[in-house]
Each structure stands twice: as C-alpha cells, then as structure tokens.
Amino acid sequence: MIKRTLYFGNDAYLHTKDEQLIVNFADKEKSAASLPIEDIGVVILDAFRLTISQNLITKLLHNNVALITCDEKHLPQGLMLNLDGNNIQSRRFKSQINASLPLKKNLWQQTIKAKIRNQAILLENIGVDTDNMKYWEQSVGSGDPSNYEGRASAYYWKSLFVDHIEGFTRDRLGQEPNNLLNYGYAILRAVTARSLVASGLLPTFGIHHSNKYNAYCLADDIMEPYRPFVDRLVLKILKNEEDIYDLTPDLKKQLLQIPVIDIVIEGKSSPLMIGMQRTTASLNACFEGDQRKINFPEFE
C-alpha cells in the first residue's frame, strides 16, 4: 500500500481519535479534517504555531511514520523515527554491526556504481555526452578508493543545469536551485530512514558515511542512487517555473511527490517509497548473508 506524505504549513492543532489523525485549523472557517494513521508514511510540520499532541506522536511512530520538523526558513531540520520498527531487529542489528569491512566496501562499491549509472542516464536524456561517466562507473573498485564518485559528481553538476543556470555549483547554502535540491533530499532522506527502520536496521551505522555527529549515516549511504530521481524532478521544475527563489507552497507540493515517483527495480515498477523498502530489505539480506546484491533502482 502506498503511504501518504502530509504537509502542514498552516497553524493547526493535530491530535488523534479512533486511530485517525485529526486536524483542527486555527482558521475557524476551515472544517476539521481526518485521515487514518495507518495510511500515512511521512508528516512534515512547517508552521510556527502548529501544535501536535503527544498521543498522536506516539501513534504516528508506532505506525512507522517519519516525522519531519522545519526551521524558520521552512527547510526540513529534524527527523523523528520509531525505535522499534521490526519484530526481530535485535538479530538484524547484530548482523549489521558485525558486518565485515570487505562486505561494507563491496556494498559501497555497488551503491556508487548505481548512483553514477543513474546520473549518467539522466545526463544522457538531456543530450550530454556520458562516455566518461560510463568509464568511471565501470572503474569503481571496492570501497571506491579512487573516488570515482567525486569525479562523476563534479562533471554531473557542471552539466545538469547548464541550459538553465550558468556556472551552477552544488552547495547546500548556494544559489538556486540548491534550495529545491535541499528540500527534495530531506524528503528522500526521511523516506530512506523510515524504510531502514522498517527493515530492522539502524540508520546510524553506515557502510561508508561515518560522521560522529550524523545520526543517519546509513540513510545517507543508501539514498545515493535515488538522488538523481530528485534531480530529475528539480530539472522539470526549472523548465516549467519562472520563479524558484522562494520555496512557495506550489513548489513544495511538487517536491512532496517524491515518495510516489515511479521507479523501476529489476524490471518491476513501483512508487519510490515502496521501491525503497525493497532496497532496504535487500540490504538487510546482504548483512545476513542471504544475498550479495542490493536492489537499487535504475532509470529506464
């Protein structure tokens, strides 16, 4: 079942009754609304006077909902997840924590190859030569010691928006459309972390990322091959929208479609959120020694 992504940008009181999320708007002219909690996958809280009950938070987390809070600039800032998302997670934690260094290097090699492959296909689709990208993909070694990810990234960002923006640089605090990319990646990160928890894995322990201040290292690892799907959506927005300097409700609405973007894994199409669950389940199988390959999506 496809889980819904909910965005709350107006002042309201969120609470629960009869396993429903209930919304009472501060604007009394708006009628109260409700939705079954079991249908929800991601909730984004983005209003200064938005109130949410503890009981609702508990039920959302119990149903493995990713709860995102936004800062004063309306950008995703915090992420809350269930700590008990799988009934055999202690066994899976052990497999993940005890994973050997060669295994983690191999998994990172797979991840980077898939990321570069998707980046190359996206560039190819807009008429950019990608012979170098294809070479770098095939050259990625265990653990990517030669940093082909970095080489591919430099070429990718120099080429992706060339028809729309002169001299674009990917920088979280940089010029537009970095604001759109930041917002889209935050949603993707939440979807990834949610799926990892559902698969009984710890989002904190990565296969490559290891920043001691990062609570979602594994999510940052596994979302890498999915990033080009966000980039493609941002590219589409650039083509259709004249003003991208402010994250308007309309732009956010378009970016909130990320969890339901169609992707293809091993010839089977599904919404991104469901495909991500296949990816994280396959990662767990790799940790447990039941398979050797992570199931990542590919552009067609």
Is the pLDDT reported for residue 232 higher than 90? yes
Query: Would residue 111 count as lying in a domain?
Result: yes
Query: Would residue 34 count as lying in a domain?
Result: yes
Q: What is the pLDDT of residues 158-175, one digit of tens each?
A: 999 998 888 899 998 888
Query: Would residue 163 count as lying in a domain?
Result: yes
- Which pLDDT score is estimated for 82? 87
Query: Would residue 295 count as lying in a domain?
Result: no
Residue whose token pair is 């080009």: 228
- 46 lies in which domain range? 4-80
Cβ distance 81 to 197 under 8 Å?
Answer: yes
Is the pLDDT reported for residue 300 higher than 80? no
Same domain, 105 and 229: yes
Query: Would residue 72 count as lying in a domain?
Result: yes
In angstroms, the CA 265 to CA 99 distance is: 25
In angstroms, the CA 117 to CA 228 distance is: 10
Tell me which of 27, 50, 80 is where a domain ends.
80
Vertex 204 angle, CA 262 and 6, to 5°: 40
Rg of the chain (C-alpha set): 20
Cβ distance 192 to 276 under 8 Å?
Answer: yes
Same domain, 75 and 94: no
Structure tokens at 212: 């001691």
Domain containing 72 — which CATH number? 3.100.10.20
Vertex 8 angle, CA 5 and 14, to 5°: 100
Query: Would residue 169 count as lying in a domain?
Result: yes
Q: List the one residue out of 282, 291, 295, 294 whose CA is nearest residue 107.
A: 294
The number of distinct structural domains making up the chain is 2
Domain containing 162 — which CATH number? 1.20.120.920
Q: What percent of the chain has pLDDT over 70?
A: 98
- Which pLDDT score is estimated for 87? 62
Q: What is the pLDDT of residues 180-214, one digit of tens each?
A: 999 999 999 999 999 999 999 999 899 998 887 78
